[in-house]
Amino acid sequence: MRAVVQRTKNSQVAVDGKIISHSRAGLTVLLGVGKEDSKEDAKYLADKIINLRIFTDPTGKMNLSLLDVHGELMVVSQFTLYGDCRKGRRPSFDSAADPGIAVDLYEYFLTICRQYDINVSCGIFQAEMLVSIENDGPVTLILDSKRNF
């Protein structure tokens, strides 16, 4: 699984011009599911993201997690994170999981996140969404359950 994690002040998701979910200060995660991903990948990434120490402590050092600051979490599915642009000019999405498999792992990821004492919002899987993100910092990290960045 791949995730783009942003520390955010606010985020929201709209579908067909209507806001379907919103999140206050915390993290916004764009989440992609690959062909070789499993529930273990989802659990690993959820735990990693929830416990990332990327919020500032009173001394100004990034030392606090989402749990420490009682932040909120917005998760939006994004298969394009598996786009391969190395050849030609049109991305290949051959490494992305088929939607039937991806939706199950996306939902499992959300289930794991909801087990923590935080507010979790999300987009709609496979919907055409307008995602608004107010990045705080900016702080943006790329995580992959299979590779180190």
Beta-strand runs (E) in the chain:
2-15, 18-23, 26-32, 55-56, 62-64, 72-77, 120-122, 130-144
pLDDT at 36 over 60: yes
In angstroms and rounded to an integer, the radius of gyration of the C-alpha atoms of the chain is 15
pLDDT band at 148 (very low <50, low <70, confident <90, very high): low
Q: What is the pTM of this model?
A: 0.94
**Which of 40, 39, 41 shows the shortest CA–CA distance to 3?**
41
Looking at 56, 80, 111, 140, which residue is catalytic? 80
The pair of three-digit structure tokens given for residue 148, joined into one six-digit string: 């180190």
Domains in the chain: boundaries: 2-143
Q: Which amino acid is at 144?
A: D
**CATH entry, 2-143, from 3.40.190.10, 3.30.70.890, 1.10.10.2520, 3.50.80.10:** 3.50.80.10
Average pLDDT of the residues of the chain: 96
- Catalytic status, residue 80: yes
Query: What is the band of 147 on the pLDDT scale with cuts at 50, 70, 90?
Result: confident
Mean pLDDT across the stretch 20-40? 97
Q: Residue 64's pLDDT is what?
A: 98
Q: Which two tokens stand for residue 128?
A: 């055409």
The span from the CA of 122 to the CA of 22, in Å, is 8
In 7-125, where does DSSP find H-type helix? 39-51, 66-69, 99-114
- How far is residue 8's CA from residue 72's CA, in Å, rounded to a whole number? 9
Q: Give the mean model confidence (pLDDT) for residues 125-138.
A: 96
Amino acid at 75: V
Taking residues 8-22, report their average pLDDT: 97
pLDDT digits 0-9 by tens, 63-122: 999 999 999 999 999 999 999 999 999 999 999 999 999 999 999 999 999 999 899 999
